[in-house]
Chains A and B, each alone.
Chain A
Amino acid sequence: MSERPLSDPLRFLLRALILLAVMLALWWLVLLNPLLAGLRLSAELTLRLLPGGSSVSHVTIGTDGNWTFQVPAPAAVVNQERTQQMLGAAAGSGRIKIRSIKVEGTARYPILFTVSLPLFWAILLAAPGRPRLWRMACGTAVLAIFALLSIAVYAVRLVGGYFQLTTEGFPGFLMDSAMYLAAGVVPYLAPVLVALSLDGELRGLILAGGAEPAAASAVSAAPRRRRNR
């Protein structure tokens, strides 16, 4: 009895699903804490680059996994009447001055920002041909930068929410959109786009709708032999 072989896309899907399960387990059980620690350190170093942020910026992860961002308070925002009222300054009295603020965010988002890595690894390892280490390394680095940018968006949203700057109107819409993209789109879409950008074989295979390299090379070798005759 002859069995119909699976098509390349289905074979890729099955391989990728199995690898995704393995990579997600590896990520969750082994790599998550080191990744979050690295992300926290990178976020803190980035915040320290902000004006006035070198001495006051800190990012900490609590025992409950929640993240606390201590960031410099922008003077232009602190001096606003609305902010002063919010801080409790009485009318006619002197302005309240603050150097930094602390905002706390849930553990959920930073974890979400790193989920792109197991998906990316699964796609690259499931792709036909030998896995290339430099592609893995480059892609991982690019996705780590995306994660850092996403953390920055999250921190801006928390700080904006604290000062009630990004809770309504157009700024609110922009902030909600940025957060939607950072948490709902980038972690899942970026791995595919980065994998296809780095892996020319997989990209060529998908866009040409062709067969896997072995079959493809066999097909391309046939006319060459004929020409040599």
Chain B
Amino acid sequence: MARKLSPSQTRAVQAEQASAPPRQNRMLRFLVLFPIFLVAGFCALLIPFLHPAVTAFTRGLVEISAIVIRLFGGHATAQQVILQNPLNGFAMEVLDGCNGDDVAVLLWAAILAYPASWLQKGKGLLAGTATIYIINFLRIISLFYLGQYDMRWFEFAHLYVWESVFVLLTLTIFWTWVRRMATPGRKDDLAAL
């Protein structure tokens, strides 16, 4: 049941509604800003100046993957951006496009363009990016094992399955974030992802 507002509260709500931009304008703003942020994000990834940072991140991802595989009794060594099984010689190179940066850019562009407070955006960016990188980490390990089993399945999973799954996941993360903002009382669905 709705709580009855006092006259001063009603005036405050009316003032807030009057000062807030109409919903359609906010959506239009999103539709304009999203492609701009998306292009800016991909340009940033392509700038040679940033390549060392991207490669360092990829190297870290490969190092951690090797450590986790060894922790669970597997055999893996990391050499720069190459993850290798020393027993059978299988090696895979994690390229810049395979480190989850592409989908992170997609999510960042969507969240930054969406009309929300900076605090909400910050939470969304943090939780969403963490989810993407954790799942990308699982992807790398799964591909490492799949490649040792069958290279055809590796290619199929790498190029077609995982990349598509990542895009769907990013869309879902964004939707969950928006939904959570629309209903502030709900529990965090991002945690459920």
- Contacts from A to B (Cβ < 8 Å): 7-10, 12-13, 16-17, 20, 24, 28, 108, 111-112, 115, 118-119, 122-123, 173, 177, 180-181, 184-185, 187-189, 191-192, 205-210
Q: Chain A residues with Cβ under 8 A from B46's Cβ?
A: 177, 180
Are B172 and A9 closer than 8 Å at their CB atoms?
A: yes
Contact A206–B174 (Cβ < 8 Å):
yes
Can you give 24 A-B contacts (C-beta < 8 A)? A9-B172, A9-B179, A10-B189, A10-B193, A13-B168, A13-B169, A16-B168, A20-B161, A20-B165, A28-B160, A112-B159, A123-B171, A173-B48, A180-B46, A180-B97, A189-B106, A191-B167, A192-B106, A206-B171, A206-B175, A206-B178, A207-B27, A209-B178, A209-B182
Q: Which residue of chain A has the shortest Cβ distance to B114 in the bound complex?
A: A207
Closest residue on chain A to residue B34 by CB atoms? A193
B138 CB to closest chain A CB (Å) equals: 15
Q: Are B182 and A12 in contact (CB under 8 A)?
A: no
Q: Does B133 contact A (CB under 8 A)?
A: no
Nearest to A6 among chain B residues (CB) is B192
Residue pair A209, B163 in contact (C-beta under 8 Å): no
B192 near A10 with CB under 8 A, answer yes
Evaluate contact between B164 and A24: CB separation under 8 angstroms: yes
The answer to whether A189 and B172 touch (CB under 8 A), given A10-B189, A184-B102, is no
Interface pair B164/A118, CB less than 8 Å apart: yes
A198 vs B165: C-alpha distance when bound (angstroms): 21
Q: CA–CA, A191 to B171, complex, Å?
A: 11
**A24-B30 contact, Cβ under 8 Å, with A7-B189, A17-B165:** no
Say yes or no for B90: interface residue by CB 8 A criterion. Answer: no
Tell yes or no: B139 within 8 A of A by CB.
Answer: no
Known pairs A206-B171, A208-B182 / 11 extra A-B pairs, C-beta < 8 Å: A10-B176, A12-B172, A24-B164, A108-B159, A115-B163, A118-B164, A123-B171, A191-B167, A208-B178, A209-B182, A209-B183
